[in-house]
Amino acid sequence: MKPQNWKAGLHRAAVAFIGSLCLLASGAVVAGSDLHGEWSDLLGEHVTWNAAGGASSVDYAGFQRSKAKLDVYLNALSAVSDSTYQQWEQAQQRAFLINAYNAFTVDLILTRYPDLESIKDLGSWFRSPWKQIFIPLLGAERSLDEIEHEMLRGSPDYDDPRIHFAVNCASIGCPALRPEAYSAAQLDQQLDDQTRRFLSDSQRNRATPAQRFIEISKIFDWYGDDFEMPFRGSQSLAGFLAQYPQALKLSAADVAALARGDYEIDYLDYDWSLND
């Protein structure tokens, strides 16, 4: 009887151990959806839309006062393993990377705030601030450029140019830092809202229908190829812009003219001043 009981006990222990691993794994995946609550709270406290709702202002002094809370969130991001990340659905991965980019950008600004006028002040002749390797994420030390251009845009699944309106470079010319975290469940709506808000800001994008002329952010020039990828039936910059007529104050006739290529498109200078 003893050998049989010993074997049965060992079997039960093995089953329990495997079960606990499965619970831990599933818990880690679920935890990913709740991971960004603290970041969302911080954004709600320290980021505000302007009166028109097309841009936002960041209270970096407020973030400094909340630095301990920000550090807790950054540490939580860094604690996510690559194996856990790989179990997440695509929207959850994208939300994670966008939030990480924005949170670590704020953290970078705080290393010298208020003694800087632009994020570019944090770079040097030899390395821009976006190439600095300081972000512990998914088991490696990374830069902001790696998150944006390799992990987001460089992904073989990359198919959404609206990501450009979600990652924030701490500058006035940049699309707004949203006063809430991105989430898998709301990502599509959040990206669409970010795009509409950015295009509606006449300081950075504006159309003159009477002259068939449109001036848009330099972002559309720098990343022109992204806006020519297939997206919601569009494969051109004009086609992408035509999807947001209300933001650009375009009539149906204007949209048709834009889609035909009858509009002259020019690019505005980019304002690298800090978005505080």
> Other C-beta atoms within 10 Å of 16: how many?
10
Apex 14 CA angle, 13 and 20, nearest 5: 90
| Distance between CA atoms of residues 159 and 181, nearest Å | 21
pTM summary value? 0.87
Return the pLDDT at 27: 39
Return the pLDDT at 125: 76
| Distance between CA atoms of residues 151 and 52, nearest Å | 33
Residues of the chain with pLDDT under 70: 1-33
Q: Cis peptide leading into 114, omega within 30 of 0?
A: yes
Q: At residue 26, what is the residue type?
A: S
Tell how far CA 88 is from the center of its chain: 17
Whose CA is closest to 73, among 113, 107, 30, 110? 107
The model's pLDDT over 20-47, given as tens digits with 9 standing for 90+, comes to 343 344 334 444 558 999 999 999 999 9
For β-strands 264-267 and 213-216, DSSP reports them as: parallel
Average pLDDT of every residue of the chain: 89
Q: Environment class of residue 269 by beta-carbon count within 10 Å: exposed (0-12), middle (13-18) or buried (19+)?
A: exposed
Return the pLDDT at 234: 86
Q: Find out whether 263 and 214 touch, Cβ atoms under 8 Å.
A: yes
Please report the DSSP string for 157-205 in residue order.
T---GGGGGTS--SBTTSPPPPSS---TTTHHHHHHHHHHHHHH-TTT-
Return the pLDDT at 11: 44
> Other C-beta atoms within 10 Å of 176: how many?
24
| Distance between CA atoms of residues 43 and 257, nearest Å | 39
Return the pLDDT at 8: 42
Apex 189 CA angle, 143 and 255, nearest 5: 105
Return the pLDDT at 17: 42
For residue 84 the two structure tokens come to 């856990």
Strand ranges inside 113-259, DSSP E: 135-137, 140-142, 206-208, 213-216
Whose CA is closest to 166, among 153, 150, 185? 153
